[in-house]
């Protein structure tokens, strides 16, 4: 790590880019005051209350920053624990940078509000971006940032939202080349509106400080696709994770932080599925209370074809999003057929082409009449038809499904487990302006890192503007239509 004072001995011909000038000026001013100090051993928490804005020194542990303002702290820190409270207003955003010499370091973001694609409070910017906040605008909330060795932990209130271990060879784009651990000061940067802080305290930790709870190996960022999207601020969210097959919410939390993938955890609401099933409104509310404080997006999957008659829109409306699929259909003889189970797929009296026509018409009915946000496991076929996927999914059949998605603003899931839909269908959907989500639909605790989804981003030219977020949901505006008859 460059000495925090030597970085300002610049070549006279070198010109910092505009976004760096304020921090460089502030840090240079602090050097002039002789305020940088050497790293030292652990101490009791002390107020973080000496700041400089480039012109004057401020003595406060309750600073506030507005858009375009920057405050740089006194001191030089290596291992530390910083605590305090923050207050945001709607649309406001600030960053707290640490280990900075004017250019270097990591930013922790402070922004709350709806799940709309903006990065939320606790995000370790462009390394572990988060898209759901555990805090609310207009209410003070506690936070903690701790650095111990190569490990960074961020907590919002009492919940750990980031646990990132910087590997020996981290992947960084040119724009983030100096996003590395080392030592340095703190900086508060106003990005939008005004964000206030109070009670800021910092505890110096010894050089040997380690996070004993950090037991998962860091990702190999030289080969990891997730960090590449994070560095581009492309949202990495798996909306389709189930707590089943031994996967607990605690395990999901740890995997999510280690992989750098935001998880949307969803139970099945209805009948016929596998794993946690919700049977009525009471169970829906009870489950929601279980996961309310967890750092997941909160979804629910409509399972089977009776769910729209079983649950109230009000109960399902407490979740961030709702999705369903066409893996359960009413077949040509009126039978409930889970097409992912070969023993329930019966062609008696029809050809496979005719069965395919029934599957497409059922998909149209499901997406038209069931108010879901996301079409999950899209274009799934019975096992014996899968080898001829491209033959069965003709242009005409694809268009029929895409027509419905476009008409009702339903997002198309790119499913990592089944590697569907095809890249060709993804490209055609993108041309129509249909939005996308990523999803796994795991069966147990051992599942991947959205590999097919990441490949689709590159192969199909997807951008962050192509992705769907819960703030785009229109399901509450759509009436429930009971279109099937059951005995």
Q: Where are the alpha helices (DSSP H) in 173-231?
A: 225-231
β-strands 262-265, 297-303 pairing: parallel
Q: Would you report the helix, strand and coil content of the chain in percent, each value rounded to 5? A: 25, 25, 45
Taking the CB of residue 51, how many other CB atoms lie within 10 A of it?
Answer: 25
Does the domain made of 6-204 have the CATH classification 2.60.120.560? yes
Q: What is the DSSP letter of 227?
A: H
By percentage, how much of the chain surpasses pLDDT 90?
82
Q: What is the pTM of this model?
A: 0.90
Q: What is the DSSP letter of 212?
A: T
To the nearest 10 degrees (0 to 180), the angle between helices 395-407 and 352-369 is: 10
- For residues 430 and 404, the answer to whether their CB atoms sit within 8 Å is no
To the nearest 10 degrees (0 to 180), the angle between helices 423-431 and 451-460 is: 50
Using the Cα atoms of residue 224, residue 230, residue 234 and residue 237 in order, give the sign of their dihedral: positive
User: Can you give the residue ranges of every domain in the chain?
Assistant: 6-204, 234-477
- For residues 208 and 86, the answer to whether their CB atoms sit within 8 Å is no
Beta bridge partners of 49: none
pLDDT of residue 116: 98
d(CA 438, CA 411): 10
Each residue's pLDDT tens digit, 225-269: 999 999 999 999 999 999 999 999 999 999 999 999 999 999 999
d(CA 222, CA 228): 9
Torsion of CA 221, 225, 226, 232, to 10 degrees: 100
24 falls in which pLDDT band (50, 70, 90)? very low
List the Cα angle 457/267/384 in 5-degree steps: 65
- For residues 379 and 420, the answer to whether their CB atoms sit within 8 Å is yes
β-strands 194-204, 80-88 pairing: antiparallel
The CATH architecture that domain 234-477 belongs to is Alpha-Beta Barrel (3.20)
Q: What is the DSSP letter of 464?
A: G
d(CA 20, CA 17): 6
Each residue's pLDDT tens digit, 387-444: 999 999 999 999 999 999 999 999 999 999 999 999 999 999 999 999 999 999 999 9
β-strands 159-165, 151-156 pairing: antiparallel
- Asked if pLDDT for residue 94 goes beyond 60, the answer is yes
Distance of CA 47 to the CA centre of its chain: 33
- For residues 179 and 127, the answer to whether their CB atoms sit within 8 Å is yes
pLDDT of residue 218: 84
- Average pLDDT (342-364) is 97
- Asked if pLDDT for residue 317 goes beyond 90, the answer is yes
105 falls in which pLDDT band (50, 70, 90)? very high
pLDDT of residue 290: 86
486 falls in which pLDDT band (50, 70, 90)? low
Taking the CB of residue 361, how many other CB atoms lie within 10 A of it?
Answer: 14
> In 296-342, where do the E strands start and end?
297-303, 321-324, 328-330, 336-338
d(CA 78, CA 98): 9
Taking the CB of residue 85, how many other CB atoms lie within 10 A of it?
Answer: 17
Beta bridge partners of 303: 270
Using the Cα atoms of residue 75, residue 76, residue 82 and residue 85 in order, give the sign of their dihedral: positive
Q: Which helix (H) or strand (E) holds 362?
A: helix 352-369
- Asked if pLDDT for residue 34 goes beyond 50, the answer is no
Each residue's pLDDT tens digit, 48-62: 999 999 889 999 999
Each residue's pLDDT tens digit, 146-202: 999 999 999 999 999 999 999 999 999 999 999 999 999 999 999 999 999 999 999
């Amino acid at each position: 790590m460059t000495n925090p004072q030597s970085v300002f001995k610049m070549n006279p011909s070198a010109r910092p880019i505009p976004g760096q000038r304020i921090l460089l000026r502030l840090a240079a001013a602090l050097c002039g005051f002789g305020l940088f100090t050497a790293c030292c051993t652990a101490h009791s928490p002390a107020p973080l209350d000496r700041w400089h804005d480039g012109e004057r020194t401020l003595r406060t542990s309750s600073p506030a920053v507005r858009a375009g303002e920057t405050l740089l702290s006194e001191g030089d820190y290596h291992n530390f624990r910083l605590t305090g409270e923050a207050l945001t207003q709607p649309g406001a955003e600030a960053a707290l940078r640490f280990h900075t010499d004017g250019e270097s370091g990591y930013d922790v973001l402070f922004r709350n509000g709806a799940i709309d694609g903006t990065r939320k409070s606790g995000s370790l910017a462009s390394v572990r971006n988060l898209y759901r906040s555990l805090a609310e605008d207009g209410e003070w909330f506690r936070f903690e940032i701790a650095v111990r060795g190569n490990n960074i932990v961020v907590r919002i209130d009492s919940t750990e939202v980031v646990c990132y271990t910087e590997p020996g060879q981290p992947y960084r784009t040119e724009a983030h080349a100096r996003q590395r651990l080392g030592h340095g000061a703190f900086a508060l940067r106003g990005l939008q509106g005004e964000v206030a802080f109070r009670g800021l305290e910092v505890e110096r930790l010894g050089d040997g400080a380690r996070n004993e709870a950090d037991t998962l190996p860091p990702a190999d960022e030289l080969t990891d696709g997730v960090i590449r999207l994070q560095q581009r601020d492309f949202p990495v969210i798996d909306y389709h994770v189930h707590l089943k097959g031994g996967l607990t919410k605690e395990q999901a939390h740890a995997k999510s932080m280690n992989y750098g993938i935001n998880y949307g955890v969803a139970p099945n609401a209805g009948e016929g599925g596998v794993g946690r099933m919700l049977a009525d409104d009471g169970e829906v509310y009870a489950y929601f209370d279980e996961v309310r404080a967890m750092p997941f997006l909160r979804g629910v999957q409509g399972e089977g074809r009776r769910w729209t008659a079983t649950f109230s829109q009000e109960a399902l409306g407490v979740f961030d999003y709702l999705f369903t699929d066409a893996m359960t259909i009413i077949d040509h003889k009126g039978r409930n057929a889970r097409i992912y189970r070969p023993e329930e797929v019966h062609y008696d009296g029809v050809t496979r082409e005719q069965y395919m026509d029934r599957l497409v018409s059922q998909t149209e009915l499901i997406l038209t009449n069931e108010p879901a946000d996301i079409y999950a496991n899209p274009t799934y076929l019975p096992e014996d038809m899968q080898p001829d996927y491209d033959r069965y999914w003709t242009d005409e059949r694809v268009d029929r499904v895409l027509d419905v998605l476009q008409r009702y603003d339903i997002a198309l899931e790119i499913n990592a487990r089944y590697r569907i839909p095809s890249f060709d269908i993804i490209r055609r959907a993108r041309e129509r302006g249909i939005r996308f989500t990523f999803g796994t639909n795991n069966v147990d605790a051992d599942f991947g890192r959205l590999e097919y989804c990441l490949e689709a981003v590159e192969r199909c030219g997807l951008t962050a503007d192509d992705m769907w977020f819960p703030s785009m949901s229109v399901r509450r505006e759509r009436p429930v239509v009971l279109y099937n008859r059951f005995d």
